[in-house]
Structure 1
Amino acid sequence: MRSVFKLPAAAAALFAASGLSSAALAQEEEAGPISFSANVTLTSDYRFRGISQTEEDLALQGGFDAAHESGFYVGTWASNLAGWGTFGGSNLELDIYGGYATEVSSVGLDVGVVWYLFPGGLDRTSYGEIYGSVAKTFGPVDLTVGANYAFKQDALSLNDVKQDNIYVYGDAGVAIGDSPVSLSGHIGYTDGNPGTGPNGWVPSPTGTYLDWSIGASYDLPWGPIALSVSYVDTDISESEAAAYQIVNSGYRYGIGDAAAVFAISASF
């Protein structure tokens, strides 16, 4: 349910692999057709599409991916939850996904399916999304546009009627010369059911809103470790949040308000 998405990193790794030198490719072939990667992050707040899933508190997150040289991949990712983000009583989110990533005429393509699980939560809280993205590099700038579509299902119900949800977004990233610093920007638009049923999910009081962020990261000189900071915000108004609290006391305005998010992450 929660990140703009974890998969662009996996896809980027696959796209980068297509540009390796012949010597590097030979070493990769010797290692076998399947490659594995892992990541772990400690962040000051877990924001999913602009909304805090940990009551603006710490989150420990990690994932594991397996990618075949053909472009197919599978993976999993998990994070702790708190407050609004517990989604029916669960304090854990577990994502399982699979897809296909390739490059055509220097354009990166990524399509797949993700299923969001909430162990220990209420029944019918888990749900799935279909996603796709297109990525292109222009000089030092990497641009990505994509969409996640949650088809009609129980977890997105309103008054016992199944609802769907669409999320479209754009990402930009640029490295600062040969320095270990890079900058990033993101904007996303959510359009879904305007409220929640007993097990329904929607991250805002309206079901339709914008989220955006800008950030910077610094690769430490030792090991695959990076420090990052980002400014995250949404256009959810205080009056919208106040009205929604009447029917769902678990939601509060602060979790969709502007915030600086700090993180340290490592990838292997």
Structure 2
Amino acid sequence: MRMICLAALAASLATPAFGQEVQLDTDQTAAGNVTVSGVTALVSSYRFRGIDLSDDKVAAQGWVNVTHKSGLYVGTWASRVDGFGELGGSNLELDLYAGYKTALADGVTLDGGLIYYAYPGSTGGNFEFFEPYAKLGLEAGPAALTLGVAYAPAQDAIGDNDNLYISADATLPIEGTPFALDAHVGRSEGKTTLTPGEGYTDWSLGASASGKALTARVAYVDTDISDFDAIAAGATTEIVDAAIVVSLTAAF
């Protein structure tokens, strides 16, 4: 799910910002002007903006994206949720998104769109919300940097206040090897159910190995959310503690 009601919360983005904010390069199959790509994954813990939404349990995830050669795209991303991330009995987060990506210059891209966070089967409250996003991609040789911003306007599901999330993601493939390094830092601000303590920072450092359609990744994930703010949000302190997250993804 991506952050959800923190009073009942839980929540990566792909480029829209899905659950764990994981960016994946996938093999793609093109038919005319349309390209379809996708990924299935198992993760040891589903972390959304640093917060554990799968109760420290393995989560199955999937992603399908359809892109037109014009730069327009639509897609969906899904993950099992549990514990603090389980909203009103729902054990599924389903993210629906649409956007447009274009090249501004050599090695510079702009990507913007709208994502809708849904929790099919949830009861006892309004947990679904939408969030526009924009990302600027910069490439320098093999290295890539993505600067992102996501803004959720005031909605019932997030406490009738707006929320802002800004982020920076960097990737560095190790030339001549199947390995790559990645880093992420993000800042969430807003008096909403998405942001314990009304503001916090999350970060991660990761390494991955890819072969054919498979990618294995291990990452250290942490936040600066205090135990007090976690408890005040109705959660246990474990969901914001530092963790090692392992994932295995398969592209199709």
TM bracket (short chain): 0.7 to 0.9
Alignment of 1:78-227 (within 5 A): 78-106=78-106, 107-122=108-123, 123-157=125-159, 162-193=160-191, 201-204=193-196, 206-220=197-211, 223-227=212-216
Cα pair distance change 1:231/1:47, threshold 3 Å: same
Q: Report the secondary structure of 1:125's partner residue.
A: coil
CA contact (8 A) 1:102 1:109 kept: yes
In 2: Cα distance, 1:108 partner to 1:52 partner: 31
Deviations 1:212-262 (A, max 9, x none): 000000013xx30011000000001223334x16xx2xx011111100000
Q: State the shift of 1:138 in Å.
A: 1.2
Note the aligned Cα RMSD (angstroms): 2.3
Q: 1:12 to 1:51 in 2, by over 3 A?
A: closer
Give how far 1:89 is off.
2.5
TM score, norm. by length of structure 1:
0.83
Identity %: 39
Identify, as 1 or 2, the structure richer in helix. Answer: 1
Query: Which residue number in structure 1 is paired with residue 52 of structure 2?
Result: 52
Moved over 4 A (4+): 8-14
2:15 alignment partner in structure 1: 7
Structure showing greater relative contact order (alpha-carbon pairs closer than 8 Å, 6 or more residues apart)? 2
The count of aligned residue pairs is 238
Q: Any conservation in 1 of the 2:217–2:246 contact (CA below 8 Å)? A: yes
Q: Counterparts of 1:93 and 1:130 in 2: how far apart (Å)? A: 18
Q: Pick from 233, 242, 248: which aligns with 1:258? A: 242
TM-score using structure 2 length:
0.88
Distance in 1, Cα, partners of 2:94 & 2:150: 17
Larger radius of gyration: 1
Output the amino acid matched with 1:48. F
In structure 2, distance between residues paired with 1:13 and 1:44: 20
The runs of 5 or more residues in structure 2 that have no matched partner are 3-10
One-letter amino acid of the counterpart of residue 144, structure 1: T
Aligned to 1:237: 226
- Aligned counterparts of 2:243 and 2:169: Cα–Cα separation in 1: 19
- 8 Å contact from structure 2 (residues 12, 46) kept in 1: no
Query: Alpha-carbon deviation of 1:124?
Result: 2.0
